[in-house]
Amino acid sequence: MEISRREFLKLGLAGGVALTLPLSASGCSGEGSTGTLLQSRTKLPEPFRVPLPIPPVLEPVRSDAHADYYEITQKAGEAEILPGKKTEVWGYNGIFPGPTIESRSSRRTVVCQTNALPVPVSTHLHGGRTPPDSDGYPTDLIMPRGTAHGMDGHGSMGHGGSGHNCKDYIYPMEQRAATLWYHDHRMDFTGPQVWRGLAGFHIVRDDEEDALPLPKDEKDIPLMICDRSFDVDGSFLYPSLDPSLQGKPGVEDDYMDGVLGDTILVNGAPWPVLEVSNTRYRFRILNASNARRYELALEPGNAPFVQVGSAGGLLGAPIRHRNIRIAQAERFDVVIDFSRYEVGTEIMLKNRMGEGKTANIMLFRVTRQEKDESAVPERLADMEEFDELTASSAGRTREFRFSRVGDDGRVMWGINGEPFDPERMAARPELGSTEIWHFRAAPASHPVHLHLVHFKVLSRNGGRPLPTDAGWKDTVDLTSGEEARVIVRFDGYRGRYVFHCHNLEHEDMMMMANFEVM
């Protein structure tokens, strides 16, 4: 390829930025996350002062023999996240996190999403086994009210916008019980739109799981962990090039590695407290951060998390972890047994990758005694063998490198050297086929997420997977220089889907590609 001297200089300059920024400006490389810390411009709250909020469970507007029907309006709302200050959120029904949707396995769920925000949106059900037209493809946009066509701030890629300000997302829910989440997936603007609040839980239940004696009801609690930063007036701070999110996409150069907030929120509250009895609780932990990774631990005593489920549902048998490394978009379904503690004990959920305030996440306070009827059985679910033996008879192996790419002088991120192009197909697996996908990450950490499918991690860095790689996954955490082989069956639906890095700044800067199930 011939490039002009001017372009060469631009690329060279961009390359220089690329090489020096992560070392000098990423103040948080010591925090184990790829990204740059964005300091709040207001006083941060004291930790452990506010109760843990639980997002409301959404009621269907109607149900019939075929489906449960829900309605959600994406709109601006106000939240008191910092004491005495108002924060504008862009949320599902105006709240952050959005309302929790609960579905039964194999029972159709239809969600009518209305866009009352000033920007286009697209909603992806993360972990959902969803037909392509309801999957939230990045250019499958719901337009803002009053804009008929094509105003998506990205002229050349603005097709797919329906010109309507609502859309029915149809979820057949042909999948196991699992903790899913839904979030914005608008092309080029996912990072800032999720940062403003467009994220919520979607929990799938089934008979297999109901039959287990795991903690239930008010002892089955979703925990959405994410980091944010705040401006002087309490508004969310984010380094967008165009804060209206209606023009040029992207973030200031210093933040192209990712945006790290300095305030840790759980279910939208800063460093909250949950009062518990001295019994077992089940927590569905989600890392909904843009760029921050966490290493979860309990103090004092480094008590264990008993993992019962991964992103794709129940494990075959529980796994005890002293620490859990959780990348963006990953979920860990864990049981914590508070029966070992005296009433009055305080147990902290720590982030061993954090420093100072970001080393804390939340606090559990044991306030009462209670009889516990729950248990964690030694066998949880029948798991299909899907391992190296299956791999030996798998179809093809594909390799994908997640790294920086130069594009017209601007540094971006890409897969196999290519920035995202909705028209380009990176893979065309056959429906029902099994393949090995081999991912490599450099020079930053890249959690790799596939839409539609769940997979198992076969190997990591040529050796055995980590304990946290166990079970069915839809996102695999790769730190800089790591590689992993995963085994995937392309079941479900034919059509076009994306796979991408779930560092949302990387995703917005094009670290995404298409696959089409044929």
Nearer to Cu ion, 460 or 506 (CB): 506
Establish if 501 lies at the interface with Cu ion (CB under 5 A).
Answer: yes
> In sequence order, what are the residues at sequence separation of 6 or more whose Cβ sits closer than 8 angstroms to the Cβ of residue 242?
248, 249
Q: In angstroms, give the least distance from the CB of 482 to Cu ion.
A: 12
Q: In angstroms, give the least distance from the CB of 359 to Cu ion.
A: 24
Q: In angstroms, give the least distance from the CB of 413 to Cu ion.
A: 6
Q: In angstroms, give the least distance from the CB of 446 to Cu ion.
A: 3
The dihedral built from the CA positions of residue 517, 133, 90 and 198, taken in this order, carries a sign that is: negative
* 439-498: contacts with Cu ion (CB under 5 A): 446
Q: In angstroms, give the least distance from the CB of 444 to Cu ion.
A: 6
Q: What is the DSSP letter of 45?
A: P
Q: Helix-strand-coil percent breakdown of the chain, rounded to 5? A: 15, 40, 45
Q: Compute how many residues bind Cu ion; rule: CB under 5 A.
A: 4
Site string for Cu ion, 270-289 (x = CB under 5 A): --------------------
Q: Figure out which of the listed residues 101, 503, 508, 512 binds Cu ion, where binding follows CB under 5 A.
A: 503
Q: In angstroms, give the least distance from the CB of 415 to Cu ion.
A: 10
> In sequence order, what are the residues at sequence separation of 6 or more whose Cβ sits closer than 8 angstroms to the Cβ of residue 218?
none
Q: Figure out which of the listed residues 308, 506, 512, 513 binds Cu ion, where binding follows CB under 5 A.
A: 506
Q: Are 225 and 285 in contact (CB under 8 A)?
A: yes
> In sequence order, what are the residues at sequence separation of 6 or more whose Cβ sits closer than 8 angstroms to the Cβ of residue 155?
none
> In sequence order, what are the residues at sequence separation of 6 or more whose Cβ sits closer than 8 angstroms to the Cβ of residue 386?
456, 487, 489
Cα separation, 143 vs 120, in Å, equals 5
Q: Which of 495, 425, 499 is nearest to 455 (CA)?
A: 499
Q: In angstroms, give the least distance from the CB of 283 to Cu ion.
A: 27
Q: In angstroms, give the least distance from the CB of 154 to Cu ion.
A: 20
Q: Which of 126, 338, 306 is nearest to 212 (CA)?
A: 306
Cα separation, 338 vs 330, in Å, equals 24
Nearer to Cu ion, 360 or 514 (CB): 514
Nearer to Cu ion, 183 or 282 (CB): 183
Sheet holding 273-277, edge to edge: 273-277, 360-368, 346-351, 294-299, 324-326
Binding site for Cu ion (CB under 5 A): 446, 501, 503, 506
